[in-house]
Copies of this chain bind each other. A is one copy, B any other.
Amino acid sequence: MVRQTRVVEAVPATTPFIGPEQLMRETGQAQLVRLGANESAFGPSPRAVEAMSRDLPRLAWYGDPESLDLRDALAEKHRCAPDEILVGAGIDDLMGLAVRAFVGPGNTALWTLGTYPTFSYHVIGYGGRPLTTPYRSDGTPDCDALIEAARRASPTIVYLANPDNPSGRFIERRELVAFYEALPSDALLLLDEAYADFVDAADLLPPSFGDRLVRLRTFSKAYGLAGARIGYALSSRRNISIFAKIRLQYGVNRNAQVGALESLRDEPFRRHVVDETARARDEYYRLARELGRSYIESQTNFVCIDFGTASAATRVMSDLLEHGVWVRKPGAPPLDSCIRVSAGTPSMRATFAAALRAVTEVTV
């Protein structure tokens, strides 16, 4: 029998997320209204679908390992150089590279307890030392607590999702700049901007901002390409070249490169998605008020609705599943009394609203 490395031996068997396909097998349901994973209900750009469809017969060819065309287009979008960009198989992949390069065994990584769980998955997977601070009571990551913990414990990476997942909260640019500047000079800020395409570009950090900053972006959310697994890191040439030393050269699907490039060219479609998403959020806010529930104003494609206690929220989530509606819920306080529902199309929203009214009458 071959022995695992010490680091991997210590990793527990966990699954950060149960997929809807498994829930369908378990419950025997043939389909679910998918509002659990913040997938875009508005789909990919039709132009991107057409470009991908045209390229499918060439799928016997590997994609360009350097993603040259896509990086050129991204460099233009972000007003930076192509070698300040690394394309990877989604944010999860890029996050793994960052943890592997800068945390590794024994170093500390710091994040907000209950935020996007894949960061913690990587830290534990690479043998890092986890350090967390709690959310503020309103569900915002607590920047002051993070700064204090960073000064005390010297983490190599401080992780922040902005807009945050699962709260949907957004930290304004001025506060974010102050946060970055207050962090120790030997800590990297890993800024997960998965939902930044739902925010006005003017409210985000300027291009090429800071050597200790790695920004992670994705085509999974506003661009509706979650299934394609494609995202990118924006950072200094030095950090990008470090990731390049250890990345999978051929890790990105060729068709995903094609779809991402065409999606960038279809800015009207992204704006349409952002507008539809805002309408969906407003409708969820009204529904929450109607049911006498509080909610968190979100800058993303999902909304947290509060049911008072974690067990009540869990019950609502399970009952919704019985009605064929799949949502998720945050795992840690103070957000664990909420369910988190993704922006749906009008018909998905109607199904969700009817199901939520039905299950809250009975269970809450």
Residues of A within 8 A of B (CB): 1-8, 11-17, 19, 21-22, 25, 34, 37, 39-44, 49, 52-53, 56-66, 68-69, 89-90, 92-93, 96, 100-105, 107, 118, 121, 125, 156-157, 185-188, 211-212, 220, 224-229, 241-242, 244-246, 248-256, 259
Contact = CB atoms under 8 A, between A and B. Distances in A.
Given A1-B186, A21-B66, A211-B1, A60 B253 contact: no
Contact of A63 (B12, B68, B227, B259): B227
B59 A92 contact: no
A89 B64 CA distance: 15
A21 to B, nearest CB: 4
A67 B295 CA distance: 35
Contacts of A92: 248-251
Contacts of A21: 64, 66, 68-69
A4 B102 contact: yes
A187 B1 CA distance: 8
Given A2-B156, A68-B21, A89 B186 contact: no
Question: Which of A3, A21, A34, A225 has the most B CB atoms < 10 Å from its CB?
Answer: A21
A96 B125 CA distance: 14
